[in-house]
Structure 1
Amino acid sequence: MRALRYLALAGLVATAGTATAAPVTYKLDPGHTMVLFSWNHFGFSNPSANLGNVDGTLVYDEKDPTKATVEATLPLTGLDTFVPKLDEHLKSADFLDAAKYPTVTFKSTKVTAAGKGKLKVAGDLTVHGVTKPVTLDVTLNKVGPHPMMKVQTVGFDATTTIKRSDFGVGAYVPNVSDEIKIHITTEAHDASAK
């Protein structure tokens, strides 16, 4: 009987140990990540674009999300406004100057809880060679095994608003809005999975 109790206790201890999630390093999935940004054009329309081809990592601990970190690089070759001439113009020296500054980067500096499934992720955003602090309002969509890939996956949505003139990209302000609204949706997969 005593041996049975020890066996049950050992089982509980083992289960408790596995229930404590350790931080997992995830690789951002460029096929399921969109960084959408929009602006106002002379008051007539609100065009949008996507910055695709993300490369980055996310370290996430389900038990303590405030320990999360994220780093992402977005090549301007992935910029898509769905209008090729506008893509060229935004990549020109008038705006992003992709020849000189070929990437946009984000690196988190602090994560704080903001309610159930909500986080505030502060970090450094670099655009056009200028680095400024920004805060993302983040919603955890889901964490768990991906049903098709059979790998641990996490998904988030995030929003923020920046002023492009803060990054030295102020052409045509105020006719073309200084304020840029950003919406990010992403999936990331366990980087250790084969």
Structure 2
Amino acid sequence: MRVTKTLAFAGLFAAAAAAHAAPVTYRLDPNHTMVLFSWSHFGFSHPTADLHLGQGTLTFDPQHPEQARVEVSLPLDGLDTHAPALDEHLKKPDFFDAARYPVVTYRSTKVEPLGGNRFRVTGDLTVHGTTRPVVLEATLNKLGPHPMTKKASIGFDATGSLKRSDFGVSMYVPNVSDEISLRITTEGSVAQ
């Protein structure tokens, strides 16, 4: 009888531990991450550029999504506007000053579940040596094993906006818009 009680207790303990799974940290995949930003160019067009991911992690527990954390670095040498001359211009001192400030970073400070698969993520964005809070509206696309690698994986989309003048990047405002729109898509897997 004692063995049966011990086994039952061990089974209950294992079930309780599984129900309270620990947060999982995913390494974001640079090949499946796009950080796009767009602006108005004198009202005539709305160009879009991509900041390629350098490194990034996302820690997430579906039981406690408010404890999620994201941290990314975006080297400016990966800036891509699809116009090489514009890439070089944006890296100069009158815009990003990439020689002095070569990396853009984002670190979450708060995650608010909004119901379903939607979240509001507040974080510190550092651009041009200046750090300001930026809010992203995020959607969890999928959580589970990746069909190709079989690794535990996660995917999110997010949108947001910021004023570039808040970061000391104000050349040509207001003709080239101060407001920058952000659109992000990313996926990552557990590193093994």
TM over 0.5: yes
How far the C-alpha of 1:180 sits from its partner, in A, is 0.2
Aligned residue in 1 for 2:31: 31
Superposition pairs of residues 8-87 of structure 1, within 5 angstroms:
10-11=10-11, 13-87=13-87
How far the C-alpha of 1:3 sits from its partner, in A, is 7.4
Q: Does structure 1 conserve the Cα–Cα contact (< 8 Å) formed by 2:36 and 2:50?
A: yes
Aligned residue in 2 for 1:139: 139
Identity of aligned residues (%): 62
Alpha-carbon separation, structure 1, partners of 2:110 and 2:8: 41
Q: Runs of 5+ in structure 2 lacking a partner?
A: none
Secondary structure of the equivalent of 1:43?
A: coil
Q: Does structure 2 conserve the Cα–Cα contact (< 8 Å) formed by 1:28 and 1:54?
A: no
How far the C-alpha of 1:107 sits from its partner, in A, is 0.8
Q: Runs of 5+ in structure 1 lacking a partner?
A: none
Alpha-carbon separation, structure 2, partners of 1:71 and 1:2: 49
How far the C-alpha of 1:57 sits from its partner, in A, is 1.3
Q: Does structure 1 conserve the Cα–Cα contact (< 8 Å) formed by 2:160 and 2:183?
A: yes
How far the C-alpha of 1:58 sits from its partner, in A, is 1.3
Q: Does structure 2 conserve the Cα–Cα contact (< 8 Å) formed by 1:29 and 1:54?
A: no
Aligned residue in 2 for 1:93: 93
Q: What TM-score, normalized by structure 2, do the two folds share?
A: 0.93
Alpha-carbon separation, structure 2, partners of 1:117 and 1:22: 19
Q: Does structure 2 conserve the Cα–Cα contact (< 8 Å) formed by 1:90 and 1:96?
A: yes
Alpha-carbon separation, structure 2, partners of 1:117 and 1:66: 12
Q: What TM-score, normalized by structure 1, do the two folds share?
A: 0.92
Aligned residue in 1 for 2:172: 172
Alpha-carbon separation, structure 1, partners of 2:7 and 2:168: 66
Q: Give per-residue Cα distances to partners, 1:87-141, cap 9 Å, x unaligned.
A: 0111111210111110000111111111211111111100000000111111101
Q: Does structure 1 conserve the Cα–Cα contact (< 8 Å) formed by 2:141 and 2:155?
A: yes
Alpha-carbon separation, structure 2, partners of 1:167 and 1:9: 57
Letter in 1 for 2:53: N
Alpha-carbon separation, structure 2, partners of 1:71 and 1:7: 42
How far the C-alpha of 1:5 sits from its partner, in A, is 8.4
Letter in 2 for 1:102: P
Alpha-carbon separation, structure 2, partners of 1:148 and 1:176: 43
Aligned residue in 1 for 2:130: 130
Alpha-carbon separation, structure 2, partners of 1:70 and 1:3: 45
Alpha-carbon RMSD across the aligned residues, in angstroms, is: 1.8
Secondary structure of the equivalent of 2:40?
A: coil
Aligned residue in 1 for 2:107: 107
